[in-house]
Amino acid sequence: MSRFTELRDLVGSFEKDFIKFYDKGNKSAGTRVRKAMNELKKKAQEIRKEVQDIKAIAKSPEPPPTGAM
């Protein structure tokens, strides 16, 4: 669950800039929001790749035991 915690913490760290931009109209905060969303996109892509790799490992057949014959 640490990946979920990472995402939750990452999104939480953007809260102040979202409020400043959307509620107060601070344009500099808007730039930071865009940057934050790009970070979120990168993190999401990283997690997607990790999930795909884990699925591929689980799907691959186990090699036959050596010396079984």
Reported as a single tens digit per residue, the pLDDT across 24-40 is 999 999 999 999 999 99
Residue pair 3/50 in contact by the 8 Å Cβ criterion: yes
CA dist., res. 63 & res. 60, Å (int): 9
Residue pair 6/43 in contact by the 8 Å Cβ criterion: yes
CA dist., res. 7 & res. 5, Å (int): 5
Domain-wise residue ranges, the chain: 2-58
Q: What is the pLDDT of residues 39-62, one digit of tens each?
A: 999 999 999 999 999 999 988 876
